[in-house]
């Protein structure tokens, strides 16, 4: 599957950033740009828009969580060729990002066993590489029929 899955993953992420499945996705990931991708890995750049910032001008943590989820899922898809469902998702918020700040997201699949896959997503400032957030996620294939709809890439 390899390169085909990477291509499909990239196209799906780009399509989702332009034509989201929901209004919330559209607000959250609009403007996401893929800068590097390969099997099990994706790096994106993003400028935090005003519309997903809180009253203090910080990137809203809920919007950041959705971005981490979407980019992590794309990295997993690029490796295994199927959409998986999150079964465990944790984020450590180390710092905050301001509206109009340029961000880099890097997602790497760090493990795969059977139906389970694990991905780590780092969110960093492009200006100095400072870590803003670290997402760790376990995803499982074949759970969709038990928990409902899964967004398709």
Find the CATH number of the domain harbouring 98. Answer: 3.10.129.10
Evaluate whether residue 152 is within a structural domain. no
Helix (H) or strand (E) holding 66: helix 61-80
Mean pLDDT confidence for 130-136: 98
- Which of 90, 96, 93, 100 shows the shortest CA–CA distance to 46? 100
Which band of pLDDT confidence, cut at 50, 70 and 90, is reported for residue 149?
A: very low
SS3 call for 116: strand
DSSP-assigned letter for residue 98: B
Say what the pTM is.
0.80
Evaluate whether residue 153 is within a structural domain. no
pLDDT for res 20: 47
For the chain, how many structural domains are there in total?
A: 1
Q: Is 138 left (phi over 0), alpha (psi -120 to 50) or beta?
A: beta
Dump pLDDT digits (tens) for 64-111. Answer: 999 999 999 999 888 888 766 888 999 999 999 999 999 999 999 999
């Amino acid at each position: 599957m390899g390169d085909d899955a990477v291509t499909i993953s990239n196209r799906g992420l780009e399509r989702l950033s332009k034509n989201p499945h929901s209004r919330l996705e559209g607000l959250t990931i609009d403007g996401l740009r893929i800068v590097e991708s390969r099997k099990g890995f994706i790096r994106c750049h993003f400028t935090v828009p005003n519309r997903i910032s809180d009253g203090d001008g910080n990137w809203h943590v809920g919007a950041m969580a959705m971005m981490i989820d979407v980019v992590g899922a794309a990295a997993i898809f690029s490796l295994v060729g199927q959409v998986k469902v999150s079964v465990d998702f944790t984020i450590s918020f180390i710092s905050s990002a301001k509206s109009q700040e340029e961000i880099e997201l890097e997602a790497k699949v760090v493990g795969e066993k059977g139906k389970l896959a694990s991905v780590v997503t780092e969110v960093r400032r492009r200006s100095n590489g400072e870590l803003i957030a670290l997402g760790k996620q376990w995803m499982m294939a074949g759970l969709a029929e038990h928990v409902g709809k899964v967004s398709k890439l």
